[in-house]
């Protein structure tokens, strides 16, 4: 009888160990590709029949990004109307999909902040205003913003900008007060403090726009921006170099700028030289690289949709943003992107190892934030 009991206990123990150690089902290629996509969508609220909910669940999307203004329809109705509405929207999305979704927003402060005072949110100084004051005040501003983001349910802020204010008349950086300073050391110290404030509230950040958009004379939202004759590598890479050395970065966002002295054919987002040789090689960055919006004019007007996706991934982009908030709104953008990327992997245009590397970086980042 004792032998039978011991045998039964042994069987139960072995079964328990087997269950505990049983490997989780390996993610499919489709699931790994989906994890690389961050999607914009329309809607102040969602339910189980909403397109974005179905897309997240069907394609295992890695994240979403919220906006306050719908550019294609020139309408102020998009995703953000009030504090309570945004909080409920994010909460419902998580309930209807999964808890490890990246919920992102552009909240730099100043002119580029989707959480505007007219919707009931706190006024945050622009980067230029912060840069003119004490670093401690930048931290305080970031802390206020971070607390608000956390309360609403966001876990990613596509900020701060670390572009150096080389051209103060730059239409997309200097003119909009998005740079902390023309001094790269000041940019570094204020950006570092801003990041610290976000991290206090468990908010991931993405510094931008690599390798530096501060010297440009045009807007990459509208077309390909050429900085060949204005770019200063030593100055513009300094904030990246120092922040990478600090080991406090979550993500780095690419810029749709071209420097023909470095890569004569491709903007940084699509450039092996910029992303793998310089960012990964020279600067020793091992974290997540996120593209700027792949539907911006700089990419959409100069490269085919399929070509740009394949090039961006092969160049080293881990996450691809599709804001669906430029010239046109395409409700099937997730399906199209997954199909193109998968086909490119199956035909050998993209190595599956590249997909695996990106997937693992994204999952590691999410795990670091308990997602």
289-309 residue pLDDT tens: 999 999 998 898 889 899 999
pLDDT value of position 206:
98
Q: What is the pLDDT of residues 10-22, one digit of tens each?
A: 555 555 544 444 4
pLDDT value of position 18:
47
- Indicate which residue of 221, 226, 277, 330 is catalytic: 221
pTM of the model: 0.92
Tell me the backbone φ, ψ of residue 19, rounded to 5 degrees: -65, -45
Token pair of 58 as six digits: 């069907």
Distance CA(28)–CA(68), nearest Å, equals: 34
Cβ atoms of 46 and 88 within 8 Å: the answer is no
Q: What is the pLDDT of residues 263-289, one digit of tens each?
A: 999 999 999 999 999 999 999 999 999
pLDDT value of position 217:
84
Q: What is the pLDDT of residues 216-274, one digit of tens each?
A: 987 666 667 899 999 999 999 999 999 999 999 999 999 999 999 999 999 999 999 99
Cβ atoms of 219 and 171 within 8 Å: the answer is yes
- Indicate which residue of 250, 292, 293, 318 is catalytic: 292
Nearest residue to 65 via CA among 86, 82, 95: 86
pLDDT value of position 8:
53
Q: What is the pLDDT of residues 312-347, one digit of tens each?
A: 999 999 999 999 999 999 999 999 999 999 999 999
Please report which helix (H) or strand (E) contains residue 102, including its range. Answer: strand 102-105
pLDDT band at residue 31 using 50, 70 and 90 as cut-offs: very high
4 CB-near residues (< 8 Å, 6+ apart): none
Is 292 labeled as catalytic in the residue annotation? yes
Please report which helix (H) or strand (E) contains residue 310, including its range. Answer: helix 305-315
Distance CA(367)–CA(165), nearest Å, equals: 35
Is 68 labeled as catalytic in the residue annotation? no
Of 49-63, 80-94, 216-230, the range with the lowest mean pLDDT is: 216-230
- What domains are defined for the chain? 28-368 (3.20.20.300)
Distance CA(219)–CA(257), nearest Å, equals: 9
């Amino acid at each position: 009888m004792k032998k039978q009991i011991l045998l039964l206990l042994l069987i139960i123990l072995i079964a328990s160990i087997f269950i505990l150690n049983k490997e989780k089902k390996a993610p499919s290629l489709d699931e790994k590709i989906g994890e690389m996509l961050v999607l914009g969508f329309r809607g102040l609220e969602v339910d189980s029949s909403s397109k974005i909910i179905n897309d997240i669940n069907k394609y295992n999307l890695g994240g979403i990004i919220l906006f306050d203004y719908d550019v294609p329809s020139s309408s102020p109705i998009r995703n953000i109307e009030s504090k309570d509405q945004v909080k409920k929207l994010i909460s419902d999305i998580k309930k209807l999909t999964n808890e490890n979704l990246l919920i992102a927003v552009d909240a730099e402060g100043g002119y580029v902040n989707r959480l505007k005072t007219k919707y009931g949110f706190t006024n945050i100084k622009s980067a230029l205003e912060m840069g003119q004051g004490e670093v401690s005040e930048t931290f305080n501003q970031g802390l206020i913003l971070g607390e608000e983001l956390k309360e609403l349910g966001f876990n990613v802020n596509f900020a701060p900008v670390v572009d150096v204010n080389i051209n103060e008349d730059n239409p997309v950086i200097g003119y909009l007060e998005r740079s902390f300073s023309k001094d790269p050391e000041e940019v570094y110290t204020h950006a570092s403090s801003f990041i610290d404030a976000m991290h206090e509230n468990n908010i991931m950040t993405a510094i931008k726009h690599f390798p530096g958009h501060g010297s440009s004379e045009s807007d990459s939202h509208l077309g390909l921006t050429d900085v060949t004759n204005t770019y200063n590598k030593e100055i513009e890479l300094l904030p990246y170099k120092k922040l990478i050395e600090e080991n406090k970065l979550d993500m780095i966002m690419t810029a749709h700028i071209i420097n023909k002295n470095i890569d004569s054919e491709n903007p940084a987002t699509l450039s092996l030289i910029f992303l793998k040789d310089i960012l990964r090689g020279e600067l020793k960055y091992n974290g997540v690289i996120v593209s700027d919006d792949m539907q911006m004019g700089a990419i959409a007007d100069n490269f085919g949709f399929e070509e740009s996706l394949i090039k961006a991934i092969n160049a080293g982009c881990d996450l691809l943003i599709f804001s669906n908030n430029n010239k046109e709104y395409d409700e099937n953008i997730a399906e199209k992107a997954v199909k193109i990327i998968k086909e490119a992997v199956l035909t050998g245009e993209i190595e599956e190892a590249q997909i695996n590397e990106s997937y693992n970086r994204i999952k590691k980042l999410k795990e670091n934030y308990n997602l």
